[in-house]
Amino acid sequence: MDKLKEEKTGQLSDEPEVESEENASGEDIDVDEENLPSKAMAIHEHIRQDGEKELERDAMALLWSAIAAGLSMGASLLAKGVFHVHLDGVPGSFLLENLGYTFGFVIVIMARQQLFTENTVTAVLPVMQKPTGSNFLLLIRLWGMVLLGNLIGTGIAAWAFEYMPIFDEQTRDAFVKIGMEVMKNTPGEMFANAIISGWIIATMVWMFPAAGAAKIVVIIMMTWLVGLGDLTHIVVGSVEVLYLVFNGTLHWSDFFWPFALPTLAGNICGGTFIFALISHAQIRNDMSNKKKAQTKAQEKGRREVENGKAEKRDKM
């Protein structure tokens, strides 16, 4: 029995664990709006707790989920390319064509696959609440595995679109045109556009806890906006640019610069350093006030117990 207990303890110790109040106390923190100082704090707690679960997931599970997400993101290029061909000359075709941009996001998010730009806010909140070295390393591990998986998945999708006998020449030409539109941006424009897209995706994630059954509408609305603005996104853009690489239009080095590195930096800045920081900052005082109220209530309860004991002693 003792040996079995030791084996279980050893197994659990090998698993990554986020340093947080829940893990320290062994109790979940209440996320009910009525029991928290503000609605914003309730949303923050929902997303933070989801982030803790993601940070504690097995590395290979993260990688495979991220590869699946990269493959699924190929649906955005596929839909946008097909729409481009069949809506050519139709009034308002620009609006409808960019609706195709949303397809990959809908698949990835509704299937709960790992998307890098979602984790620029979800997995960051636990680190912001308890910024320890251990939590930071877990965040880097998550980002590294998810980004690697997303790029592998997008690479496979782009390779399949180019080399497998799936699409006609018109659709292939549309893929090239879509990719070249991305590559018209300078590195500075890639970075600036990616800040906005990272911020929009982070906003989308922040809306999920309150969206309920309308979650898919939120996904379409927010990601359509990214497409309409011709904003750069590290995962969708990787499918588009890698298609040009496999097509022979671009060299491998063009993928990393001017596209991938500035876009990645912009998405992180928009999702983490702008949105997540602001979102966390707005509830810091709420969290502080809640702790003060809890401490005050505990102190009041302690005094009432002591007074009750004193009264009993006096009667005796």
- Interval 66-100: pLDDT, tens: 999 999 999 999 999 999 999 988 998 999 999 99
Rounded mean pLDDT, 139-165 = 97
> Which residue type sits at 110?
M
pLDDT of residue 1: 42
Q: Where are the domains of the chain?
A: 36-289
Whether the CB-CB separation of 18 and 138 falls below 8 Å is answered with: yes
Rounded mean pLDDT, 14-29 = 64
- Give 277's pLDDT tier (boundaries 50, 70, 90): confident
Tokens of 169: 């020449």
Rounded mean pLDDT, 183-199 = 97
User: Does pLDDT of 9 surpass 50?
Assistant: no
User: Does pLDDT of 162 surpass 90?
Assistant: yes
Q: Is pLDDT larger for residue 22 or for residue 93?
A: 93
Global pTM? Answer: 0.83
Across all residues in the chain, what is the average pLDDT? 85
User: Does pLDDT of 293 surpass 50?
Assistant: no
pLDDT of residue 41: 74
Rounded mean pLDDT, 288-313 = 56
User: Does pLDDT of 289 surpass 90?
Assistant: no
pLDDT of residue 292: 47
| Domain at 36-289, CATH from 1.20.1440.60, 1.20.1080.10, 1.10.10.10, 1.10.490.10 | 1.20.1080.10
Q: Is 26 left (phi over 0), alpha (psi -120 to 50) or beta?
A: left
Helix (H) / strand (E) element for 67: namely helix 59-86
Give 80's contacts (C-beta < 8 A, 6+ positions apart). Answer: 97, 98, 100, 101, 174, 178, 227
**Whats the size of the chain, residue-wise?**
316
User: Does pLDDT of 28 surpass 70?
Assistant: no
pLDDT of residue 11: 40
Q: Is pLDDT larger for residue 296 or for residue 315?
A: 315
Cβ of 279: how many Cβ atoms within 10 Å? 21
